[in-house]
Structure 1
Amino acid sequence: MSKWFTMPVAVHLFFVRDGEILLLRRFNTGYEDGNYSVPAGHLDGGEEVISAAIREAHEECGVVIKPADVQVVGVMHRRANDERVDFYVSVSVWSGEVVNTEPDKCDDLSWFGLDELPDNMIPYVRKAIENYHAGVWFDSYGWQPGE
C-alpha cells in the first residue's frame, strides 16, 4: 500500500477597486492575530477553486460574486510548519455592500492602496499582493532562509 502526500489548499481573495485592495485584520483566531490578510479560506474537498472563492466572499464579507467575475491571478507553493498551496483570485465586481460578517475573527476591514500596505501584514500574503501588482503569477515562499 502506498501513501500519498497531501497538503491543505486555500483560496485568497483580492477585492480590488480604484487601486486599492481590501484587507482584514485577524482577531481572536490563534493564527497571526493583529496582522492584516485578505479574505480567505480552505477548500472544502470536492469544491472547485472559484466556488470556494464565492463561498468565502459571502461568508467573510457578505457579498455575492458571479463565477465569471472571479479571475485566478496567482498560485503560491509555500512552506512554514507544513506545506500548502494557495490560489489567489482577483475580484472587482460584486453585489452587495462589503461588511465584516465575522467580527469574532476580524476586528478591521479596510481598503489600502496597493502601494501602501500596512506594516503588520502576514508576510506571505504581502508577497502574494506584491506578485499580483507586478504581474507575477507563480511563486514559492518559505523555502529560502529568511522567508
Structure 2
Amino acid sequence: MADFESAEPCRGFWDDAARIRHGYLADVTTQTLVLKIAEEVGEVAEAYLGMTGGNPRKGVHKDRFDVLDELTDVMLAAAAPMLDLAGGTEQAERHMAGRLGFVSGREVADPPSGGWYGSFVAPHVLLRREDGKVMMLRRAGTGYRDGWLAPPAGRIEPGEDVLTAAIREAAEEAGVRLRREDAQFVHVMHRTARTLPGPCHAISDFWFRFDHWEGEPHAAEPDKASEALWIDPASPPDDVIPHCALVLAAITRGEPFTVHGWG
C-alpha cells in the first residue's frame, strides 16, 4: 500500500508520468509499455477479488487501498506510452482532455422523441489583419478544450441578437470594439454537441469576420485564455479546436454552411 505520509507532493499527473518515463522506464520500448497495461489490469482484478473475497481459496486478503494502488498503476502504465505516441506532456494532456470531452457526452440521455428539438446559438468572431491572418485565443481554465486554439466566441445573453452577442464577446475576450456595419457573415456550422445538458444536443455556430476594430487585440480574460495568436486560416496549426479548423477550411473554400457530427 502507498505511504501517503511520505509521498512527494504531486507535481501534476503528466509531469510525474514523464519523470517516471524518463527515469527507470527510460530503456523500455513503447511496445513493451503497451503490453504492460494488460498485466496491470490483471493485477487490478486480482486485488479486487482479494478485497471482496471473490476467490474462496484465498478469502479476503486485500483492502481498498490495494485496489487503488493497482488502479493507479494502470493509469501510469497507460500514461507512459501515451507520452511516447503523443509526443510529450502537453500533447498527451491535450489529447486526454479532448477524449474526456468526447466520452463524457455518452452519458447524456438521448433527447425525447416528441416535441421541439432546438439548437444553441454560438457567435464566433474572426479578426483579420491586412496580411490575412486571423486571431485565435489559447483556452485555459475553462474546463473545455483547454490548451487548444479558438476564436473569440460565446453564448447569446437575454435580449441579444447573434451579432450583438458576437460584438460583446469580442470586447470581453479580445479587448476590441467592433461596429455592426463592419461585420461580414462568413459561415454557419450546425453541429452536434452531446455534452450539452438537457434535451438540446446541437449548436449553430455563427461566424462573423471583421477587418476593422478599435483597440489592440489580446487575451483580455487571462482566466479563460493564456495567449492570443495570429494564424493563417488556410493552414491552421494542429491545435485549433477540430470543428473550428473545419470551419476555417470551409471559409477558405468560400462555403457559407456546413454540418458536422450528424453521423
Equivalents in 1 of 2:116, 2:262: separation in Å? 21
TM-score (norm 1): 0.91
Given the alignment, which residue of 185, 207, 210 partners 1:72?
185
Matched residue type, 1:119: D
CA shift digits 1:81-131 (9 cap, x unpaired): 121111000111001111211011101201011233111121110011111
Query: Displaced runs of 4+ in structure 1, greater than 6 A?
Result: none
Equivalents in 1 of 2:119, 2:158: separation in Å? 12
Q: How many residues align?
A: 143
Which residue does the alignment assign to 2:122?
Answer: 10
Moved more, 55-64 or 44-53: 44-53
Given the alignment, which residue of 227, 236, 239 partners 1:117?
236
Q: Does 1:57 align with 2:176?
A: no
Q: Is the Cα–Cα contact under 8 Å of residues 122 and 154 in structure 2 kept in the other structure?
A: yes
Deviation at 1:3, TM superposition (A): 4.3
**Higher-helix-fraction structure:** 2
Q: Does 1:28 align with 2:141?
A: yes
Which residue does the alignment assign to 1:38?
Answer: 151
Equivalents in 1 of 2:229, 2:209: separation in Å? 17
Which residue does the alignment assign to 2:261?
Answer: 142
Equivalents in 1 of 2:164, 2:193: separation in Å? 26
Equivalents in 1 of 2:182, 2:164: separation in Å? 12
Deviation at 1:53, TM superposition (A): 1.1
Q: How does 1:90-105 map to 2 (within 5 A)?
A: 90-105=209-224
**Higher-strand-fraction structure:** 1
Structure ranking higher on relative contact order (CA contacts 8 Å, 6+ apart): 1
Q: Which runs of 5+ in 1 are unaligned?
A: none
Equivalents in 1 of 2:145, 2:170: separation in Å? 20
SS across alignment from 1:55? helix
Q: Which runs of 5+ in 2 are unaligned?
A: 1-113, 195-200
Given the alignment, which residue of 199, 205, 208 partners 1:86?
205
Matched residue type, 2:224: K
Equivalents in 2 of 1:5, 1:115: separation in Å? 34
Equivalents in 2 of 1:24, 1:55: separation in Å? 16
Percent identity over paired residues? 40
Q: Is the Cα–Cα contact under 8 Å of residues 218 and 227 in structure 2 kept in the other structure?
A: no
SS across alignment from 1:65? coil
